[in-house]
Amino acid sequence: DQQVKQNSPSLSVQEGRISILNCDYTNSMFDYFLWYKKYPAEGPTFLISISSIKDKNEDGRFTVFLNKSAKHLSLHIVPSQPGDSAVYFCAASGYGSNFGNEKLTFGTGTRLTIIP
């Protein structure tokens, strides 16, 4: 059973517009969430994260929103650029603040295509 779900396998967005990628989770023990970006033939690279004590974290063009009651998080990219075309993975971990030692649970990814 998928504990972290990304229900949209793909998404196309016009350059300059906002891209919104969604992620849902089922395990209420998750308390730390991450987004990864993956280009073809490379491993996922860390993009942005959020702790469950927050509902928003922003880093440049990237903002992650967390809705704990709905067990939902989203990644907003604004404005979208051609270099943002990649596969985005949502991941989650839990059981405390020593995040460096906690295993991740991944979603299956959403392919984002930015149309020039």
Partner 1 sequence: DTAVSQTPKYLVTQMGNDKSIKCEQNLGHDTMYWYKQDSKKFLKIMFSYNNKELIINETVPNRFSPKSPDKAHLNLHINSLELGDSAVYFCASSQEEQEGPAGTNTGELFFGEGSRLTVL
**Binding string, 49-68, against partner 1, x = CB under 8 A?**
x-------------------
Are 45 and 34 within 8 A, CB to CB?
no
The distance of closest approach from Cβ of residue 22 to partner 1 in the complex, given in angstroms and rounded to an integer, is: 15
116 binds partner 1 (CB under 8 A): no
d(CA 68, CA 61): 23
Sheet with 62-67, side-by-side order of all strands: 4-5, 19-25, 72-77, 62-67, 56-59
Name the DSSP class of 54: -
Only one of the segments 22-30, 60-68, 72-80, 83-91 lies at the binding site for partner 1 (rule: CB under 8 A); that segment is 83-91
Q: What is the contact surface with partner 1 in residues (CB under 8 A)?
A: 9-10, 34, 36, 38, 40-46, 49, 87, 89, 91, 93, 99-101, 103-106, 108-109, 111
